[in-house]
Amino acid sequence: PPGLSGDFASLMDFADAARRMRVRTNAETPSEARAARAFGAEGIGLCRTEHMFFDGNRIQVMREMILATDEAGRRAALDRLLPMQRSDFVELFEIMAGQPVTIRLLDPPLHEFLPKGEGEIEDTARQLGIDRAVLCQRIIALKEMNPMLGHRGVRLAISYPEIVETQARAIFEAAIEAGARAGAAVVPEILLPLVSLRKEVDFVRKRIDQVAATVMAERGWKVDYLVGTMIELPRAAVQADTLAEAADFMSVGTNDLTQTVFGISRDDSANFLATYERQGILGRDPFQSVDVEGVGELIALAVEKARRTRPSIAMGVCGEQGGDPASIDFFERVGIDYVSCSPFRVPIARLAAAQSAIRAARLAQSRPRPRG
Ligand code: PEP
Ligand code: MG
C-alpha cells in the first residue's frame, strides 16, 4: 500500500500534535481502507454500502432485490446478499483494527441499479426467469423523474424493513466474528442516509435494536453499537435538536446538503456552475468548498441545535468537502469533531485540520479578555 515516510511523515506527526479534529476516511473496499490507514486515517467515517454492489455478479443481486415484486422475492435476494456483506464488514473491521467504522445503510438512487440497454435487460430477464416484457414493465414502474429526491436512503429502509434487518444482521455478525478473532470488542456505527424526520430514525432504530438483540442471543455475545443519522437535508439540519434525541452521532453530507439548499443537481451542475464562477457570481464550486453563508450557516445551526439536546454528540462531515482545506477551516470554527474524506485526501486533511486549529488558537489569544 502507499504510505508516508521521511520528512513527509514527520511533518504529519507534527500536524497531528496540533490538530483537534479527527480525520477519517470514506472507504468501501479493503484496498481503500488499507491505503487510508497508511495515510493516517483514524477510522472509516463513511462506508457507502450501495457502492459494494456496483460491479460484476454483485449488481445482479441488487437488481434482483429492487425488481422483486414481493417480500419473499426481496428476501431471497437478501439471503444471498447477507454472506457477502458479512465478509465485507469482517474485512473492513479487521483492517481498521479497533478504529471506528461507520457503515451506512443502503442509499442507492434506484436508477443506478436498474438494467440499462438490450444486453443488461436480456441478462436480467433470464436471471429472474421472467419475460423481457414483464421485466420492462417492472423497470418502468420503478422509474422516477427525480431519483436523487426519490425512493432512496432511509425511505427505502422504511418501505422494505427487510433490507435493514439483513444489513444489521451482517454488521452484528461481522462485529462478533472480527471481535472474537482480534480478542477485542468491535463497536460498529450504523448510519442512516437521507433522514429528515425523527420518526424515520425511530422506525429504523427499532428494527436495528431487534436484530441486535436476536443476534446477541443466538451467539451469546454482547455487541455495543451506535446508530447515527446523516444531516444532508435542510430539514434535518433545522431539526438537529429533535434528531439528536434519537441518534447517537451525526454526519453531515455536504453533497446532498449543497444540492438541496441551492436546489442545484449535484449530477448535472457542471455547465452553468462554470459560467457562474467565470462571471464571478459564485466564488467557488459549492460542491467542492463550503458555501459559508448558506450551506455553512445550516451546518453551524445543526451543530448548535444538536448539542442543545446532547452536548457531547459526535458530529462529523463525510461529503466531498471533508477533504477540502478551506471547508475544513470552517468545520474547525463551528466545532465539527471529525471529517471523513477519500483516502488520498487524508494527509491534506490532517494538515488542514492542524492549520485550522492553530489559526483558531491564535484568534482566541488575540481577542481581548473580558475584565473581572
Ligand atoms: C453526501 O451527500 O454528502 C454524502 C456523503 O452521501 P452521498 O455522497 O453518498 O450521497
Ligand atoms: Mg448523500
Rounded Cα distance between 41 and 33, Å, is 9
* Residue 25, beta-bridge partner list: 44, 341
Find where cell 443488461 sits.
Answer: 120
- At residue 57, the pLDDT reads 78
Q: Output the CA 154–ligand 1 centroid distance in Å.
A: 13
Nearest to 355 by CA among 328, 323, 336: 328
pLDDT for the residue numbered 268: 85
Q: Which pLDDT score is estimated for 110?
A: 86
CB 311 within 8 A of CB 277: no
DSSP state for residue 292 in the 8-state scheme: I
Average pLDDT per block of 10 residues along the chain, 372 residues long: 81 94 98 97 98 88 94 96 97 97 94 90 93 95 92 96 98 98 97 98 98 98 98 98 98 98 89 89 94 98 98 98 98 98 97 97 85 66
Distance 370 CA to ligand 2 centre (A): 43
Cα separation, 284 vs 110, whole angstroms? 30
pLDDT of residue 73: 94
- Backbone φ/ψ region at 117: left (φ over 0), alpha (ψ -120 to 50), beta: left
- Give the catalytic positions in this structure: 318
Do the annotations mark residue 255 as ligand-binding?
yes
Query: What grid cell was written down for 291?
Result: 458555501
Q: Is 329 annotated as a binding residue?
A: no
**Closest C-alpha to 208, from 189, 221, 194, 181:** 189
Q: Is 277 annotated as a binding residue?
A: no
For residue 190, what are the β-bridge partners? 103, 227
Ligand with the closest atom to the CA of 104: 1
Q: Which ligand is nearest to the CA of 108?
A: 1
Which residue minimizes the CA distance to atom 1 of ligand 1?
253
Q: Which three cell numbers stand for residue 32?
A: 481503500
pLDDT score of 372: 59
Show the ligand 1 pocket: residues with CB < 6 angstroms. 46, 48, 107, 232, 253-256, 318-319
Cβ atoms < 10 Å from Cβ of 325: 16
What is the atom index within ligand 1 of the atom nearest the CA of 107?
Answer: 9
Mutate to test the pocket of ligand 1, among 28, 48, 262, 298 (most ligand atoms within 8 A of CB): 48
pLDDT number for residue 2: 63
Tell me if 253 is assigned to a ligand binding site: yes
Cβ atoms of 314 and 296 within 8 Å: the answer is no
| 105 CA from centroid of ligand 1 (Å) | 12
Alpha carbons 296 and 293: distance in angstroms, whole number: 6
Cα of 361 to ligand 2 centre, how many Å?
A: 32
Report the nearest-CA residue for atom 6 of ligand 1: 253
